[in-house]
Amino acid sequence: MPYLSELLVSPAPAMAPPLPAPRGPLSAFVLEWLVRPPQALPPAPAPVDDPLYGEDSALALYLCYELHYRGFAGVDDGWEWEPSLVALVRELEAAFAARVRDEAGRDEGNDQGNVGVAERLYAMTHGDGDGRSLSRYVAERGTLAHLREFAIHRSCYQLKEADPHTWAIPRLAGAAKAAMVEIQADEYGGGGEHAMHQSLFAVTLRELGLDPSYGAYLDQTPGFTLATVNLVTFFGLHRRWRGALVGHLAVFEMTSVEPMGRYAAALRRFGIGPAGRHFYEVHVVADAHHETVAAEGLAAGLAAQEPALVGDILFGARAIMAVEATFTRRLLTAWAQGRSSLRASVDSVVIDEPAVASTPS
Ligand SMILES: [Fe+2]
Ligand SMILES: [Fe+2]
């Protein structure tokens, strides 16, 4: 019987993934040029779909953003700061940001001053919501195929979990910076490779019989899921949006404990062993603490230092909640209709039967 620590050896090396297939004229344009040496781009085709959730637009922005993370196999690193590509990204971001503002809606409260930022975040994240809970569905009625689909959707974020928020660190100071570093240190496993949350998620994918390689499921990942990752990358890459990035992380940490517990329970129901559940179970414990650090040390800490950022902190919080609500709605609608929520059925992406450790209970 292997020890849990042996099972937790991450199966996912930090390799640059292959480029995906295009989904329309804009993503085709980006893909066509990225395989060449960096050079000045001709004018890009006009967007043909929604700048936030559209398949073509979301993928085009995602492709450009990945150049700031692990890049792609066969793509020259020089594209990251090629001025003409940066100019295209700025155009895409302008349309993206306008749609995020639509989705996030207006702030109903008083954005002035720092009083009550933590309390307002608690109120936003611990309210009644609209009653549609993805984790509750998966825990109570989800099938193994649903669990795998959910893991595939999340893989484009969880395999780089914490990385976009790390961009906030050099932009913060004092108490807010210390709070961010405390959270991030845990996300990176305190410096232990096999305890990094992104490594733990790779183990979960493997235990579900899925491919744990970074970017393995990009072709199957729909635009509304890419939008959740583009949102945090957008906030992360811009110093101007450091307040929104902090609000985004605060909501992330403050909405984690109960859902993570439900996903762990669902995995247990299908006989997935401790290694596969570890990612979720770690979050139940860690985020019970991170929730407080994020709301009080980080968000309220930043608001105290820079009161002018209160509106941005709350905007970032509303933005992630809105984009995640769309994600939840799209998955639950697809499943209610008996179809896959991915761009291809889960049957065509499972590489192995899951490593079932015990009889489902
Ligand atoms: Fe985490
Ligand atoms: Fe956390």
Res. 88 pLDDT band, cuts 50 70 90:
very high
261 alpha carbon – ligand 1 mean position (Å):
13
From the CA of 158, the nearest ligand is: 1
* pLDDT at site 15: 83
For the domain 111-348, what is the CATH code? Answer: 1.20.910.10
Res. 178 pLDDT band, cuts 50 70 90:
very high
From the CA of 292, the nearest ligand is: 2
pLDDT of 348 > 70? The answer is no
* pLDDT at site 131: 60
* pLDDT at site 275: 96
* pLDDT at site 326: 97
Give me the helices (H) in 12-69, please.
25-34, 55-66
From the CA of 163, the nearest ligand is: 1
197 alpha carbon – ligand 1 mean position (Å):
5
Torsion of CA 130, 133, 134, 135, to 10 degrees: 160
> Looking at the chain, which runs of residues are DSSP E strands?
none
* pLDDT at site 361: 35
Burial class (CB in 10 A: 0-12, 13-18, 19+), 148: buried
247-277 residue pLDDT tens: 999 999 999 999 999 999 999 999 999 999 9
Buried b / exposed e along 191-222 (16+ C-beta atoms within 10 A): eeeebbbbbbbbbbbbbbbbbbbbbbbbbbbb
How many alpha carbons lie under 13 Å from residue 151 in its C-beta half-sphere? Answer: 36
42 alpha carbon – ligand 1 mean position (Å):
40
- Mean pLDDT to the nearest integer, 53-64: 98
From the CA of 280, the nearest ligand is: 1
pLDDT of 358 > 60? The answer is no
Query: In the chain, pLDDT over 70 holds for what percent of residues?
Result: 88
72 alpha carbon – ligand 1 mean position (Å):
24
From the CA of 198, the nearest ligand is: 1
45-58 residue pLDDT tens: 999 999 999 999 99
- Give the contacts of 266 (CB within 8 A, at least 6 positions apart): 138, 139, 142, 147
195 alpha carbon – ligand 1 mean position (Å):
10
44 alpha carbon – ligand 2 mean position (Å):
39
Among the listed ranges 47-56, 89-98, 104-113, 309-318, which one has the minimum average pLDDT value?
104-113
From the CA of 278, the nearest ligand is: 1
From the CA of 287, the nearest ligand is: 2
65 alpha carbon – ligand 1 mean position (Å):
21
Among the listed ranges 6-10, 284-288, 324-328, which one has the minimum average pLDDT value?
6-10
Prediction pTM value: 0.93
Residue identified by tokens 């309210």 is 127
From the CA of 252, the nearest ligand is: 2
* pLDDT at site 244: 98
* pLDDT at site 107: 82
53 alpha carbon – ligand 1 mean position (Å):
25
Residue type, 94: A
108-152 residue pLDDT tens: 765 555 459 999 999 999 876 556 799 999 999 999 999 999 999
pLDDT of 346 > 60? The answer is no
81 alpha carbon – ligand 2 mean position (Å):
31
68 alpha carbon – ligand 1 mean position (Å):
20
222 alpha carbon – ligand 1 mean position (Å):
23
* pLDDT at site 9: 67
8 alpha carbon – ligand 1 mean position (Å):
15
From the CA of 250, the nearest ligand is: 2
Residue identified by tokens 């781009």 is 41
Domains of the chain: which residue ranges? Answer: 9-102, 111-348
The vertex-158 CA angle with 156 and 163, nearest 5°, equals 95
pLDDT of 357 > 50? The answer is no
pLDDT of 2 > 90? The answer is no
* pLDDT at site 344: 75
129 alpha carbon – ligand 2 mean position (Å):
21
From the CA of 197, the nearest ligand is: 1
Average pLDDT, the chain: 91
